[in-house]
A = this chain, B = another copy of it.
Amino acid sequence: MTLDAVLNRIDTTLPEALDRLLDLLRIPSISTDPAYAAECARAADWLVAELNSLGFQASVRPTPGHPMVVARHEAPGKHILFYGHYDVQPVDPLTLWDRDPFDPEVQDTAKGRVIRGRGSSDDKGQLMTFIEACRAHKDVHGTLPGNITIFLEGEEESGSPSLVPFMQQNADELSADIALICDTGLFADTQPAIVTMLRGLLGEEMTITAANKDLHSGMFGGIAVNPIRVLTRILANMHDDQGRITIPGFYDDVDELADPVRAQWQDLAFDHARFLGDVGLNTPAGEVGRTPLEMIWSRPTAEVNGIWGGYIGDGFKTVLPSQAHAKVSFRLVSRQDPHKLRTAFHDWVKAQLPPDCSVDFHDHGASPAGMMTITDPAFEAARAALSEEWQRPAAFVGCGGSIPIAGYFKSVLGMDAMLIGFGRDDDQIHSPNEKYDLECFHKGTRSWARILDRIVG
């Protein structure tokens, strides 16, 4: 009955747990913008203080970028490593937020109570479910729940440049029997899920330069090459009319889904009409002939995430700019090699440059897709624990997002990872008015208590 006592403790101390989360959400730890470096450090310090107060041996660990947080509790038994990230996405456009993104609050909504603020779901609210589960166990038992390392990153939203070097330099300390990663969601909002398939990510920035200065389109229009026109033509060529990416060799290492996986996904009854309808869309816009779940879980993509050039202020300026820019990302699957594809992309762009134009590239990170091997009994134990808490069978699913850490745990530290999270599709992560349902925070914490009870206890 000790598990029941821990669950009960989670229920009765929920208000205090919420207060702690709100404190953390008030820290604007935007990792991609150098202006917020001190705030990232402040979030790391806050977590170290919290973890030390729970009995972990926690410390801030400097990197060339934002610091890591590592917390250790040695105990007998299976050693698990928990991963989360304390950094958050930028908040622009700020005008679309209903309140200050870093002045969080719990709000009553038609769909229940929500925790509103940047990072509430991605990933501060999620990482705190694990810490609060540890706290409840400590409160009940006087000791932390087992042989645990907590490893929190501050650069997940900005390409994780320091992650692999840090893991390599601290491999002994970070190697455990299995990793737990809390940065994913429920399936279709109500069904618990363990992600076993993740897309990789390749980030690129390109600048096309033509003339050596901005030109007047009255004087030069018609005779001078316009780099915006060159850029739009190249980007428009990136997909054919079937929605397939045209970069040579792009699909060479993309596997078709195995039949059993395809069958399992069909059973999931994904409601793509609702998924798209929630954001004002109707029509799946991916490759012709693919199911919606394939489009977001098992097929690669090429997207322009940002584009700019010329005059973009109020009014009008008849300028032919000297440069045009785009940020492009590729979601990768199966055995696609990001470094090989980066080269293929560069070559493909260069081959399309007209006379007088040059291109510069800037690397914004690369990680391969991740495929978990689910033979470790911990996977079945976690599935049972989740099914119990949520009263619905937990599913093994894919994830369209890139959580490179899962791949690195395997490639650098040689361990498998279980990706378990409690976000919902309408959490508006990376968007204005991000929220985390109070139910998800509460039952998420209870879920970890159940999982720890089964796999560590």
Contacts and interface: CB of A to CB of B under 8 A. Distances in A.
Interface of A: 32-34, 89-90, 92-93, 96, 157-159, 199, 201, 203, 205, 210-226, 228-229, 231-233, 235-239, 272, 275-276, 279-287, 292, 295-296, 299-301, 303-321, 324-325, 327, 329, 331, 354-356, 364-365, 399-402, 425, 428-432
A308 B93 CA distance: 14
A153 B320 CA distance: 24
A385 B427 CA distance: 74
A273 to B, nearest CB: 11
Given A33-B313, A222-B287, 7 more contacts: A32-B315, A92-B313, A213-B279, A219-B425, A222-B400, A228-B304, A236-B237
B296 A316 contact: no
Nearest to A159: B316
A402 to B, nearest CB: 6
21 contacts: A32-B315, A33-B313, A213-B280, A215-B430, A216-B401, A217-B301, A218-B399, A218-B401, A221-B296, A222-B296, A223-B276, A223-B284, A224-B285, A228-B305, A229-B238, A232-B304, A232-B307, A236-B237, A282-B355, A305-B319, A307-B307
B425 A304 contact: no
A306 B310 contact: yes
A235 B224 contact: no
Nearest to A309: B307
Nearest to A320: B303
Given A213-B432, A276-B224, A311 B327 contact: yes
A329 B221 CA distance: 10
B430 A317 contact: yes
Contact of A220 (B220, B296, B299): B296
A403 B318 CA distance: 13
Contacts of A402: 218, 318
A229 B220 CA distance: 27
Nearest to A236: B236
B299 A306 contact: no
Contacts of A313: 32-33, 90, 92
Contacts of A354: 283, 285
A317 B296 contact: no
A272 B356 CA distance: 14
A19 to B, nearest CB: 28
Nearest to A225: B285
Contacts of A92: 311, 313
A433 to B, nearest CB: 8
Contacts of A324: 307
Contacts of A276: 223-224
